[in-house]
Amino acid sequence: MPELPEVERATQLLRAALLQRVLTEVRTHHPSARRALPDDVARSLEGHRVVQIERRAKYQLLTLDDARIIEVHFKMTGDWAIGPVTLPPPRLGRVTLLTDDHTRISLVDGRAFAVVRVHPPGATVVPPLGPEPLDEAWTAEYLHDALVRRHGPIKPVLLDQRVVAGLGNIYAAEALWEAAIHPLARASRLSHTRVARLVDAARLVLERAPSRRYYGARATDDGYTYALGDGDDEAWRVYDRAGEPCDRCGAIIRSRAQAGRTTYYCGGCQRV
Ligand SMILES: [Zn+2]
């Protein structure tokens, strides 16, 4: 699943290709894409200029010259493929945007869960969200205050978007390892010192995120530029490393289901 650093990279790529451009053609190529973006709505976008492109958590928000907002969410496997219209369409394209400078911007998505949806001017698109991990507002004090009211273990709380927006499953597991906190540690019992260490750890893992990540079958030699593309996953300390030795203490990395997600941790050095 694309996480915060990847969605930020995707937004930057989209901004470079689409900001201040006019949409000349908008088409959907999959039933699930069409449910969110019916053909008549897609056509109504044509002739309009994109005047602003922002990211909030994992939402990409495009504002048109008539103030309508296009919401994009990659969900599990979405990505942008961007290239000249002269290239054959990319594989797994679900929504295509053509621009007045002859660029094809395709939402490619193996699982077809990604969403492109149009909202009226002034609509509230994004649900209430807490600060992002790299925001100055996300301090140890803020997190400690949020945690003392929580029952249950820390890991699912870190995935609650009202506590911190967009941290995601991989980075939550990585941050807990960095802070030497077990995913089953009780959220409300964490000391201020350990919470401060967790805030620093979350920033660290996001700032050193792998430069590119790979999400499923995708040709990357087709001439298109992808936001996520082909990459390496070797930078993780615990994520997807069950059975391997811990870099810090040498104990074996474990995995377990927790609140419907798989989490990875070291039972040797991450304390409850
Ligand atoms: Zn360890």
Condensed to tens digits (0 to 9), the pLDDT of residues 212-226 reads 555 444 556 788 988
pLDDT (0 to 100) of residue 4: 86
Residues designated catalytic: 2-3, 58, 261
Question: Which CATH number does the domain housing residue 168 bear?
Answer: 1.10.8.50
Domain count along the chain: 2
pLDDT at residue 263, rounded to an integer: 96
Considering the domain architecture, whether residues 156 and 211 belong to the same structural domain is answered as yes
Distance from Cα 5 to the centre of ligand 1, integer Å: 25
pLDDT 10s digits, 174-191:
999 999 999 999 999 999
Determine the structural domain holding residue 108 and report its residue range.
4-119
If asked whether residues 33 and 100 sit together in one domain, one would say: yes
Residue 258 included in any domain: no
- For the domain that residue 68 is a member of, what is the CATH number? 3.20.190.10
Cβ neighbors of 75 (< 8 A, separation 6 or more) are 1, 109, 111, 113, 114, 115
pLDDT for the residue 215: 47
Give the pLDDT score at 96: 98
Give 259 Cα–ligand 1 centroid separation in angstroms: 23
Spacing, Cα 213 to ligand 1 middle (Å):
25
Contact call for residues 109 and 74 (beta carbons, < 8 A): yes
Residues of the chain with pLDDT under 70: 210-220, 229-234
Query: Per the domain annotation, does 79 fall within a domain?
Result: yes
Distance 249 CA to ligand 1 centre (A): 4
Q: 79: helix, coil or strand? A: strand
Put simply, whether the predicted model's pTM sits higher than 0.75 gets the answer: yes
What is the pLDDT at residue 210?
Answer: 64
Burial class of residue 250 in the structure, from the number of CB atoms within 10 Å of its CB (0-12 exposed, 13-18 middle, 19+ buried)? exposed
